[in-house]
Amino acid sequence: MRGEDLFRFGDVKREFGFHPAAPDNLTALTARQIDEFNLAGYLSPLPGLPAAEVGQLRQYLDWLIPEVVSADDRRNSYSINQYHQVCQPLWELIHTSLLVDYVTDILGSELVCWSTHLFCKLPGDGMTVPLHQDANYWPFTPAKSLTVWLAVDDVDEGNGAMQFVPGSHLSGDLAHTELPLDGSVVLNRRVVNHEDYDDVVLNELQAGEVSLHTDLLLHGSPPNLSDRRRCGIALRYLAADVKVASGAESWAHSAVHVRDGDPTAYWPNRPRPEKDEPHKMAQFVGGFDGNR
Protein backbone atom coordinates (compact mmCIF):
# COMPACT_ATOMS: atom_id res chain seq x y z
CA MET A 1 0.00 0.00 0.00
CA ARG A 2 3.04 2.23 0.05
CA GLY A 3 2.66 3.34 -3.59
CA GLU A 4 5.91 5.31 -3.70
CA ASP A 5 4.58 7.88 -1.26
CA LEU A 6 1.49 8.68 -3.35
CA PHE A 7 -1.85 9.52 -1.81
CA ARG A 8 -4.41 6.74 -1.85
CA PHE A 9 -6.80 9.48 -3.05
CA GLY A 10 -5.02 9.99 -6.38
CA ASP A 11 -1.63 10.50 -7.95
CA VAL A 12 -0.74 13.47 -5.79
CA LYS A 13 2.86 13.45 -4.60
CA ARG A 14 3.00 13.49 -0.83
CA GLU A 15 5.70 14.68 1.52
CA PHE A 16 5.80 11.89 4.06
CA GLY A 17 8.73 12.78 6.30
CA PHE A 18 8.97 13.87 9.91
CA HIS A 19 9.43 17.60 10.55
CA PRO A 20 11.39 18.01 13.81
CA ALA A 21 10.11 20.64 16.21
CA ALA A 22 12.42 23.55 16.99
CA PRO A 23 13.07 24.50 20.65
CA ASP A 24 12.24 28.16 20.03
CA ASN A 25 9.76 30.46 21.80
CA LEU A 26 8.49 27.65 23.99
CA THR A 27 5.46 28.24 26.22
CA ALA A 28 4.55 24.92 27.85
CA LEU A 29 7.30 22.46 26.90
CA THR A 30 11.02 22.56 27.61
CA ALA A 31 13.87 22.28 25.12
CA ARG A 32 14.62 18.83 26.56
CA GLN A 33 11.03 17.72 25.97
CA ILE A 34 11.23 18.94 22.38
CA ASP A 35 14.38 16.84 21.91
CA GLU A 36 12.57 13.84 23.43
CA PHE A 37 9.62 14.34 21.10
CA ASN A 38 11.85 14.59 18.04
CA LEU A 39 13.69 11.41 19.01
CA ALA A 40 10.81 9.23 20.23
CA GLY A 41 7.84 10.71 18.32
CA TYR A 42 5.75 11.20 21.45
CA LEU A 43 5.64 12.78 24.91
CA SER A 44 3.83 11.22 27.87
CA PRO A 45 2.52 11.79 30.44
CA LEU A 46 1.84 15.52 30.51
CA PRO A 47 -0.57 17.59 32.62
CA GLY A 48 -3.88 18.17 30.82
CA LEU A 49 -7.08 19.05 32.62
CA PRO A 50 -7.35 19.62 36.39
CA ALA A 51 -9.50 17.17 38.35
CA ALA A 52 -12.58 19.41 38.42
CA GLU A 53 -12.54 19.99 34.66
CA VAL A 54 -11.95 16.38 33.68
CA GLY A 55 -14.72 15.47 36.12
CA GLN A 56 -17.13 17.79 34.30
CA LEU A 57 -16.04 16.37 30.95
CA ARG A 58 -16.51 12.80 32.22
CA GLN A 59 -19.99 13.68 33.43
CA TYR A 60 -20.85 15.02 29.99
CA LEU A 61 -19.49 11.93 28.25
CA ASP A 62 -21.38 9.71 30.70
CA TRP A 63 -24.45 11.19 29.00
CA LEU A 64 -23.13 11.37 25.42
CA ILE A 65 -21.76 7.83 25.10
CA PRO A 66 -25.01 6.03 26.07
CA GLU A 67 -26.94 8.56 23.96
CA VAL A 68 -24.96 7.42 20.91
CA VAL A 69 -24.63 3.72 21.69
CA SER A 70 -28.30 3.23 22.57
CA ALA A 71 -29.60 5.03 19.46
CA ASP A 72 -31.46 2.98 16.86
CA ASP A 73 -28.64 3.13 14.29
CA ARG A 74 -25.22 1.59 13.59
CA ARG A 75 -23.13 3.78 15.91
CA ASN A 76 -21.00 2.32 18.69
CA SER A 77 -18.67 3.69 21.37
CA TYR A 78 -15.99 4.49 18.75
CA SER A 79 -18.36 6.36 16.45
CA ILE A 80 -18.06 9.68 18.30
CA ASN A 81 -15.80 11.13 15.63
CA GLN A 82 -15.92 14.83 14.63
CA TYR A 83 -18.67 15.50 17.18
CA HIS A 84 -17.14 18.88 18.01
CA GLN A 85 -19.33 20.02 15.10
CA VAL A 86 -22.47 19.17 17.07
CA CYS A 87 -21.38 19.12 20.74
CA GLN A 88 -20.38 22.33 22.51
CA PRO A 89 -18.08 20.83 25.19
CA LEU A 90 -15.98 19.05 22.54
CA TRP A 91 -15.64 22.24 20.47
CA GLU A 92 -14.57 24.11 23.60
CA LEU A 93 -12.10 21.36 24.54
CA ILE A 94 -10.22 22.02 21.30
CA HIS A 95 -9.33 25.50 22.56
CA THR A 96 -8.05 24.47 26.02
CA SER A 97 -5.15 26.84 26.59
CA LEU A 98 -2.58 24.37 27.94
CA LEU A 99 -3.29 21.80 25.22
CA VAL A 100 -2.98 24.44 22.51
CA ASP A 101 0.29 25.61 24.11
CA TYR A 102 1.71 22.10 23.71
CA VAL A 103 0.70 21.98 20.06
CA THR A 104 2.01 25.50 19.38
CA ASP A 105 5.41 24.57 20.84
CA ILE A 106 5.66 21.73 18.30
CA LEU A 107 3.79 22.93 15.19
CA GLY A 108 3.83 26.73 15.51
CA SER A 109 1.02 29.15 16.22
CA GLU A 110 -0.88 28.92 12.91
CA LEU A 111 -3.05 25.92 13.65
CA VAL A 112 -6.27 24.15 12.87
CA CYS A 113 -7.91 21.30 14.74
CA TRP A 114 -9.36 19.14 12.01
CA SER A 115 -10.60 16.21 14.09
CA THR A 116 -11.79 15.00 17.47
CA HIS A 117 -12.34 11.29 18.04
CA LEU A 118 -13.52 9.56 21.19
CA PHE A 119 -11.77 6.21 21.70
CA CYS A 120 -14.02 4.60 24.28
CA LYS A 121 -13.30 0.96 25.12
CA LEU A 122 -16.27 -0.18 27.17
CA PRO A 123 -15.79 -2.94 29.77
CA GLY A 124 -15.28 -6.30 28.07
CA ASP A 125 -14.61 -4.68 24.68
CA GLY A 126 -12.81 -7.26 22.53
CA MET A 127 -11.82 -4.94 19.69
CA THR A 128 -8.19 -4.09 18.94
CA VAL A 129 -6.85 -0.85 17.50
CA PRO A 130 -4.25 -2.32 15.10
CA LEU A 131 -0.69 -1.01 15.06
CA HIS A 132 -0.70 1.81 12.51
CA GLN A 133 0.51 5.25 11.48
CA ASP A 134 -2.22 7.90 11.52
CA ALA A 135 -0.69 9.55 8.46
CA ASN A 136 -1.33 6.41 6.43
CA TYR A 137 -5.06 7.14 6.70
CA TRP A 138 -5.02 10.89 6.27
CA PRO A 139 -4.83 12.66 2.85
CA PHE A 140 -2.62 15.54 4.02
CA THR A 141 0.73 16.89 2.88
CA PRO A 142 3.19 17.50 4.41
CA ALA A 143 2.89 15.15 7.40
CA LYS A 144 2.68 17.82 10.08
CA SER A 145 -0.15 16.70 12.34
CA LEU A 146 -0.11 16.14 16.09
CA THR A 147 -2.54 14.22 18.27
CA VAL A 148 -3.25 15.26 21.84
CA TRP A 149 -4.69 12.15 23.52
CA LEU A 150 -6.62 13.10 26.65
CA ALA A 151 -7.40 10.42 29.23
CA VAL A 152 -10.96 10.81 30.50
CA ASP A 153 -10.63 7.67 32.64
CA ASP A 154 -7.52 6.22 34.26
CA VAL A 155 -5.73 4.25 31.53
CA ASP A 156 -3.42 1.32 32.25
CA GLU A 157 -2.40 -2.08 30.94
CA GLY A 158 -5.44 -3.70 32.48
CA ASN A 159 -8.02 -1.73 30.51
CA GLY A 160 -6.26 -1.55 27.15
CA ALA A 161 -3.82 1.37 27.28
CA MET A 162 -2.37 2.63 24.02
CA GLN A 163 1.07 1.37 22.96
CA PHE A 164 3.76 3.37 21.14
CA VAL A 165 6.75 2.18 19.08
CA PRO A 166 9.42 4.78 19.94
CA GLY A 167 11.35 6.16 16.97
CA SER A 168 9.09 4.55 14.36
CA HIS A 169 8.13 8.02 13.08
CA LEU A 170 11.62 8.35 11.57
CA SER A 171 11.04 5.47 9.12
CA GLY A 172 8.79 7.44 6.77
CA ASP A 173 5.85 5.82 5.01
CA LEU A 174 5.52 2.28 6.35
CA ALA A 175 3.55 -0.23 4.30
CA HIS A 176 0.12 -1.14 5.71
CA THR A 177 -2.27 -3.94 4.87
CA GLU A 178 -6.08 -3.85 4.74
CA LEU A 179 -8.02 -5.71 7.44
CA PRO A 180 -11.58 -7.04 7.31
CA LEU A 181 -14.00 -5.22 9.58
CA ASP A 182 -15.23 -8.39 11.25
CA GLY A 183 -15.87 -7.04 14.73
CA SER A 184 -12.35 -7.70 16.03
CA VAL A 185 -10.71 -4.42 14.95
CA VAL A 186 -11.63 -0.74 15.22
CA LEU A 187 -9.54 0.46 12.25
CA ASN A 188 -9.18 -1.28 8.90
CA ARG A 189 -5.41 -1.07 8.40
CA ARG A 190 -2.35 -2.42 10.16
CA VAL A 191 1.34 -1.97 9.52
CA VAL A 192 2.91 -4.87 7.60
CA ASN A 193 4.92 -7.30 9.78
CA HIS A 194 3.34 -5.81 12.89
CA GLU A 195 4.59 -8.70 14.99
CA ASP A 196 8.19 -7.54 14.42
CA TYR A 197 7.58 -4.34 16.40
CA ASP A 198 8.12 -5.65 19.91
CA ASP A 199 9.83 -2.57 21.39
CA VAL A 200 6.60 -0.98 22.60
CA VAL A 201 5.97 1.52 25.38
CA LEU A 202 2.74 1.45 27.35
CA ASN A 203 1.00 4.83 27.45
CA GLU A 204 -0.47 4.71 30.95
CA LEU A 205 -2.23 7.92 31.99
CA GLN A 206 -4.27 9.14 34.91
CA ALA A 207 -7.57 10.82 34.15
CA GLY A 208 -6.88 14.37 32.97
CA GLU A 209 -3.35 13.65 31.74
CA VAL A 210 -2.43 13.77 28.06
CA SER A 211 0.08 12.33 25.65
CA LEU A 212 1.27 13.86 22.38
CA HIS A 213 2.26 11.87 19.30
CA THR A 214 3.14 12.69 15.72
CA ASP A 215 1.03 11.34 12.85
CA LEU A 216 3.96 9.14 11.74
CA LEU A 217 4.35 7.22 15.02
CA LEU A 218 3.28 3.57 15.08
CA HIS A 219 0.72 3.00 17.81
CA GLY A 220 -2.28 0.85 18.67
CA SER A 221 -4.09 -0.69 21.63
CA PRO A 222 -5.25 -4.15 22.74
CA PRO A 223 -8.79 -5.13 23.77
CA ASN A 224 -10.21 -3.99 27.09
CA LEU A 225 -11.12 -7.24 28.80
CA SER A 226 -11.46 -5.61 32.20
CA ASP A 227 -14.62 -4.48 33.99
CA ARG A 228 -13.51 -0.82 33.72
CA ARG A 229 -14.18 1.66 30.93
CA ARG A 230 -11.19 3.12 29.08
CA CYS A 231 -12.20 6.41 27.54
CA GLY A 232 -9.91 8.94 25.86
CA ILE A 233 -10.29 11.72 23.33
CA ALA A 234 -7.91 12.23 20.40
CA LEU A 235 -7.66 15.92 19.49
CA ARG A 236 -5.94 16.19 16.10
CA TYR A 237 -4.21 19.40 15.15
CA LEU A 238 -2.15 20.31 12.10
CA ALA A 239 -0.06 23.21 10.91
CA ALA A 240 -2.13 25.59 8.79
CA ASP A 241 0.24 25.26 5.82
CA VAL A 242 -0.77 21.61 5.37
CA LYS A 243 -2.91 20.89 2.30
CA VAL A 244 -5.50 18.23 1.41
CA ALA A 245 -5.18 15.95 -1.62
CA SER A 246 -7.41 16.64 -4.58
CA GLY A 247 -10.55 14.58 -4.28
CA ALA A 248 -10.40 14.45 -0.48
CA GLU A 249 -11.65 17.95 0.27
CA SER A 250 -14.33 16.63 2.61
CA TRP A 251 -11.60 15.89 5.14
CA ALA A 252 -11.25 19.65 5.72
CA HIS A 253 -14.91 20.38 6.45
CA SER A 254 -14.66 19.83 10.21
CA ALA A 255 -11.66 22.15 10.73
CA VAL A 256 -11.61 24.73 13.51
CA HIS A 257 -9.04 27.54 13.66
CA VAL A 258 -6.90 27.56 16.80
CA ARG A 259 -4.52 30.20 18.19
CA ASP A 260 -3.41 32.22 15.10
CA GLY A 261 -5.53 30.03 12.83
CA ASP A 262 -5.01 30.00 9.08
CA PRO A 263 -4.21 33.45 7.64
CA THR A 264 -4.71 32.12 4.10
CA ALA A 265 -8.26 30.91 4.83
CA TYR A 266 -7.49 27.63 3.05
CA TRP A 267 -9.00 25.74 5.98
CA PRO A 268 -12.62 26.42 6.97
CA ASN A 269 -13.41 27.47 10.51
CA ARG A 270 -16.38 25.62 11.99
CA PRO A 271 -18.27 27.78 14.49
CA ARG A 272 -19.18 26.72 17.99
CA PRO A 273 -22.38 24.65 17.79
CA GLU A 274 -25.40 26.42 19.20
CA LYS A 275 -26.58 23.31 21.06
CA ASP A 276 -25.79 19.63 21.49
CA GLU A 277 -27.24 17.58 18.64
CA PRO A 278 -25.35 14.27 18.45
CA HIS A 279 -28.20 12.69 16.49
CA LYS A 280 -27.09 14.70 13.47
CA MET A 281 -24.08 12.37 13.15
CA ALA A 282 -26.15 9.18 12.99
CA GLN A 283 -25.03 8.37 9.44
CA PHE A 284 -21.35 9.04 10.08
CA VAL A 285 -19.92 5.53 10.57
CA GLY A 286 -17.16 3.65 8.81
CA GLY A 287 -13.71 2.09 9.13
CA PHE A 288 -12.81 4.38 12.02
CA ASP A 289 -15.22 2.61 14.40
CA GLY A 290 -15.15 -0.98 13.19
CA ASN A 291 -18.28 -0.58 11.08
CA ARG A 292 -18.22 -1.90 7.55
Average pLDDT in the 79-97 region?
98
- 163 and 232 Cβ atoms separated by less than 8 Å: no
| 3-281 topology per CATH | Jelly Rolls (2.60.120)
CB 139 within 8 A of CB 38: no
pTM for this prediction: 0.94
Check whether 246 has a pLDDT greater than 90: no
Helix (H, G, I), strand (E, B) or coil at 200: coil
Residue 224: pLDDT band with limits 50, 70, 90? very high
User: Any idea what the Cα angle at residue 143 is, between residues 287 and 217, rounded to 5°?
Assistant: 65
State the average pLDDT for the chain.
94
pLDDT band (50, 70, 90) for residue 18 = very high
Is the predicted pLDDT of residue 248 greater than 60, yes or no?
yes
Q: Kindly report the length of the chain.
A: 292
Decide if pLDDT at 138 tops 80: yes
User: What pLDDT sits at residue 88?
Assistant: 98
Rounded CA-CA distance 270/259 in Å is 14
| Residue of 265, 257, 260, 266 whose CA lies nearest to 109 | 260
Contacting residues for 30 by C-beta, under 8 A, at least 6 apart: none
- Domain spans in the chain, listed from the N-terminal domain onward: 3-281
Predicted local distance difference test score (pLDDT) of residue 287 = 87
**Mean pLDDT of the region 10-21:** 79
SS (H, E, C) 14-34: CCCCCCCCCCCCCCCCCHHHH
pLDDT at 15: 86
Task: Tell me the per-residue pLDDT of 197-219, one tens digit each, with 9 for 90 and over.
Answer: 989 999 999 999 999 999 999 99
pLDDT level of residue 6 (50, 70, 90 thresholds) = very low
Instruction: Confirm if 211 and 43 have CB atoms less than 8 A apart.
Output: yes
Amino acid 140: pLDDT:
94
Give the pLDDT confidence score for residue 292 in this predicted structure: 84
How far apart, in whole angstroms, are the C-alpha atoms of residue 34 and residue 52? Answer: 29
